[in-house]
Amino acid sequence: MKSKNTRLVYTVMLCVMAAALVLSGSSRSCAADVRASVLERFLGYVTHDTQSDPSSDTAPSSGKQMEFLKLLYEECKAIGLSDVELNEFGILTATLPSNIEAGVPVMGFLAHVDTSPEFSGKDVKPRVFENYDGKDIVLSPETVISPEEFPKLKNYIGQTIITASGDTLLGADDKTGIAEILTAMEYLIQHPEIPHGKIRIAFTPDEEIGRGPENFDVEAFGADFAFTVDGGSLGELQFENFYAAQAAFEITGKSIHPGSAKGIMKNAALIAVEITSSLPPDEIPAETEDYEGFYHLTDMEGDVTKSTMHFLIRCFDDEEFDARKKFMADLADSFNEKYGEDTVKLDIIDQYRNMKEMVDPQIIEFAKSAFSAAGVEPHFVPIRGGTDGARLSYMGLPCPNIFTGGHNFHGPYEFAHLETMEKAVDVIISLCRMLPEFDLKTN
């Protein structure tokens, strides 16, 4: 565990190590330098509160996101990126110009600045655990990150784990991605001997509340394809995500004194419970994994007179998606038959679709090659959720997702694995370096 000066001490330590390796002629000096840089950035970024606000109708939804974006704007200019622009909607873009003559497709990298509104992101105090011993990480009496509950920790014994202090989330989603992209861009600027085409980067707000791409100008961004850097475990290469919809039930009851209610009262709250009980009990998030879909009750409130419920509908197949929406509609109809017309009103809104339909397989083949060149075995893991990349893919910017090293997002058990973060930087550099060599045809 480190003190408040962790970032400075750790960076100095790694820089000294890097210098020693340079003097010894070791090629590992580059890795140490990258590790120090990505750690320093990440530890600084997470101290900025950037929660998005679903109750706001502004873009970005919270002013604190814009404040953080202004800092990133200055950093992009400071490291030498060009065409740095931050628009009124909180979308920051920049360019790493090509250093080769041959024309190659323009590639992009994206990450989001906001953290989830599900858990506090204020006053994040990152803690660094070097040489993790494989035991419970006790952040507070109430918050223990245990390898028994989170077995991936067992993969990181002897390595470096970064957590928050137990009463906030960490912000690895997606400040790991921001740190990795900028560290890779800085490395390429400092190493002009590495050939690459034109690279575009973008940092966006409000991904956590589903609004990230709303004001994104794909044409102005000017990339043929891109990668969101917003995944988890080492090697994740994701080009499939949920089909997603939201279902909102509004139930109207009839209130009357319970002493004379027989045959007259309609209890809206009890009808809501009955509807929920009619759903398949094994098709909920806590019972599903991999390619299994689910219905997720996110909230419910009400009384005898009026009750509301909101569900998420999620699956990976378009026919199943239609069937799940029809199941909800049929459920509403059956309860109206039972309790009377207009007792139950249902509104279903499509949210996003599976990006697999829009991502050219040759982009994935290229990414596989770049992963392998960086010494990372790609793992094709479906995204059990959505990313900005899903919507951007349908807006004309094919946008699969790559790993960051973050785990247990959106709560106090969140942690990041430093060595995986370093590998994410390596993969980004490898993607940039290998694109001129790959026969990638774009429209």
* Alpha carbons 54 and 212: distance in angstroms, whole number: 12
> Would you state the structure tokens that stand for residue 188, as one six-digit string?
């390429």
DSSP, collapsed to helix, strand or coil, labels residue 318 as helix
Tokens of 398: 């094919």
Q: In what order do the strands lie in the sheet with 161-163?
A: 127-129, 161-163, 415-417, 406-407
Catalytic residue among 49, 53, 75, 207, which? 207
Amino acid (1-letter code) at residue 443: N
Q: In angstroms, rounded to a whole number, what is the distance separating the alpha carbons of residues 214 and 56? A: 14
Reported as half-sphere exposure (CB side, CA atoms, 13 A), residue 8 has a value of 3
Contact at 8 Å (CB) between 335 and 344? yes
Catalytic residue, from 114, 206, 224, 388: name it. 114
33 assigned to active site:
no
H-assigned helices in 237-342 = 268-277, 318-339
Q: H or E stretch including 93?
A: strand 92-96
Q: Decide if 207 is catalytic.
A: yes
3-class DSSP state of 58: coil
Alpha carbon distance 336, 344 (integer Å): 6
Give the DSSP letter string of 108-121.
EEEEE--B-TTS--
H, E, C per residue of 219-263: HHHCCCEEEEECCCCCCEEECCECEEEEEEEEEECECCCHHHCCC
Tell the burial category of 2 from Cβ atoms under 10 Å away from its Cβ (0-12, 13-18, 19+).
middle
Give the span between the Cα atoms of 422 and 403, in whole angstroms.
Answer: 11
The residues assigned a catalytic role are: 114, 207
